[in-house]
């Protein structure tokens, strides 16, 4: 079943704690289908600070670190994570596919040796803030071709899946198989503004295209009824599976 990742972006420590507590209070029975994504919060408080925020939480985390460095530096990051208290709560880690196949293989092998066997590594392809014009300028290919090329590197590197837009999720599944996971940001309700995202999709389209994880931040956190909005998203997901639209 598609899981919901809630992006806790651009929040203070106090705001993050407040939203986490409110979400868990009202959705305690759904926390197996909800993951919290942290990005700038990690830079603000570090691994130990994250543990102090999430130590009483039942939720798992996506560390949206977007590592893009030489192998040894990224391996050092992974070792630091493995030795931290927050490690057991981290379900997903992101790294750019453009670090190359060998670097991804090294990270995957190190992860398996450390106490991180349940951690999933996702390789970022083309950011959802990029459109065809952007990817042609950066990579010499349109967005779909860029995603496919970078996904091929990720697949050969042995990581668990890729971060891409829901517009490419079906293509990824067709080329690399159902077990190669897709994590798709830029998910919006039909009438939402795109904001800084360019390759966006609705929840329904993402599920139909085979997205294993959907990321939503502002459409949830900026909603007048955050809890009701989360309920709405989960109901849409459950409806598709109950109707047998998805396996």
Confidence grade of residue 196 (pLDDT, cut at 50, 70, 90) = confident
Among positive and negative, which fits the CA dihedral 184, 186, 188, 190?
Answer: negative
Whole-model pTM: value is 0.95
Rounded-to-integer distance, Cα 22 and Cα 20, Å: 6
Any idea where the domains of the chain sit in the sequence? 3-242
Q: Sorting pLDDT into bands at 50, 70 and 90, what band is 177?
A: very high
Q: Please report the pLDDT score of residue 243 as a whole number.
A: 76
Query: Is it the case that residue 152 has pLDDT exceeding 90?
Result: yes
Alpha carbon distance 183, 114 (integer Å)? 24
The pLDDT value recorded for residue 210 is 97
CA angle at residue 149 from 147 to 151, to 5 degrees? 65
Instruction: Tell me the average pLDDT across 182-203.
Output: 92
If pLDDT is split at 50, 70 and 90, which confidence band does 105 have? very high
Contact at 8 Å (CB) between 165 and 201?
yes
pLDDT band of 9, cuts 50, 70, 90: very high
pLDDT of residue 117: 84
- Judged by DSSP in three states, 168 sits in helix
223 close to 19: Cβ distance less than 8 angstroms: no
Considering 19, 37, 58, 66, which one is annotated as catalytic? Answer: 66
Segment among 142-151, 164-173, 234-243 with least mean pLDDT: 234-243
Question: Is the CA virtual torsion 108, 112, 118, 119 positive or negative?
Answer: negative
Rounded average pLDDT over 48-68: 95
Could you tell me the two tokens for 26?
């009202």
CATH code, residues 3-242:
3.20.20.70
Q: Is 80 exceeded by the pLDDT of residue 247?
A: no
- Residue 245 above 60 pLDDT? no
Mean pLDDT (the chain, rounded)? 95
Q: Which of 116, 58, 68, 72 is nearest to 92 (CA)?
A: 116
Helix (H) or strand (E) holding 52: helix 40-54
Q: What is the pLDDT of residue 241?
A: 84
Question: What average pLDDT score do residues 184-202 get?
Answer: 91
- pLDDT confidence bin for 5, thresholds 50/70/90: very high
Verify whether residue 66 is a known catalytic residue: yes
Q: Are 212 and 173 in contact (CB under 8 A)?
A: no
Q: How far apart are CA 76 and CA 148, in angstroms?
A: 29
Instruction: Report the DSSP pairing between strands 120-124 and 161-163.
Output: parallel
Residue 119 DSSP symbol: P
In the predicted structure, residue 195 carries a pLDDT above the cut 60: yes
- pLDDT at res. 191: 83
């Amino acid at each position: 079943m598609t899981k919901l990742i809630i992006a806790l972006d651009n929040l203070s420590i106090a705001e993050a704690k407040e939203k986490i507590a409110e979400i868990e209070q009202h959705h305690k029975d759904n926390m197996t289908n909800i993951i919290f994504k942290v990005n700038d919060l990690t830079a603000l408080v570090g691994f130990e600070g994250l543990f102090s925020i999430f130590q009483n939480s039942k939720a798992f985390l996506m560390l949206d670190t977007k590592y893009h460095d030489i192998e040894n530096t990224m391996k050092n990051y992974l070792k630091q994570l493995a030795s931290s208290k927050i490690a057991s709560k981290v379900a997903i880690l992101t790294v750019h596919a453009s670090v190359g196949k060998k670097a991804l293989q090294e990270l995957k092998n190190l992860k398996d040796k450390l106490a991180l066997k349940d951690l999933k590594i996702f390789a970022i392809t083309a950011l959802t803030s990029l459109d065809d014009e952007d990817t042609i300028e950066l990579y010499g290919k349109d967005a779909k071709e860029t995603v496919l090329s970078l996904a091929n590197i990720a697949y050969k590197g042995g990581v668990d899946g890729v971060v891409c837009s829901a517009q490419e999720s079906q293509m990824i599944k067709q080329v690399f198989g159902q077990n190669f996971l897709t994590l798709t940001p830029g998910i919006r309700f039909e009438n939402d503004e795109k904001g800084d995202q360019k390759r966006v999709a609705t929840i329904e389209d993402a599920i139909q295209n085979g997205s294993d994880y959907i990321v939503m931040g502002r459409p949830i956190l900026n909603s007048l009824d955050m809890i009701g909005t989360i309920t709405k998203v989960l109901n849409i997901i459950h409806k598709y599976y109950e109707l047998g639209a998805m396996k």
